[in-house]
Structure 1
Amino acid sequence: MSPYTFASSPGPTLGVELELNLVDAQTLALRSGVVPILESLPPELHGSVKPELFQCYLE
């Protein structure tokens, strides 16, 4: 069971998210390294920026 509570709405809704890819500056290939970025975020962003399935994506 999900720890989140979702409320229903009478009409359709739209959610927007931004997904970022981490790219190596030399090769332009996708690069792992999301953990140091997440650890360096200010506390007020900890709930807003999340890792994705792969270590080269942020949401």
Structure 2
Amino acid sequence: MNIDLQTLQNSYASKLGALEANNTLQAVQIDQLTKENADLKKQLEAKQADTAKED
């Protein structure tokens, strides 16, 4: 069985790089969604406060 170690190493490095990039992207998306969630909660609370004032 002939394994080209350089090819194997390059493939591994490429896959590892892709996984790291994907992980970074997911972290950024989670941060954005967390901020969006906080904004939506504030909007909801403001609407609930307005509704309570009307009642």
Normalised to the residue count of structure 2, the TM-score between the two structures is 0.20
More strand by share: 1
More helix by share: 2
Which structure has the larger Rg?
Answer: 2
Q: Which has the higher contact order (CA 8 A, sep 6+)?
A: 1
Normalised to the residue count of structure 1, the TM-score between the two structures is 0.19
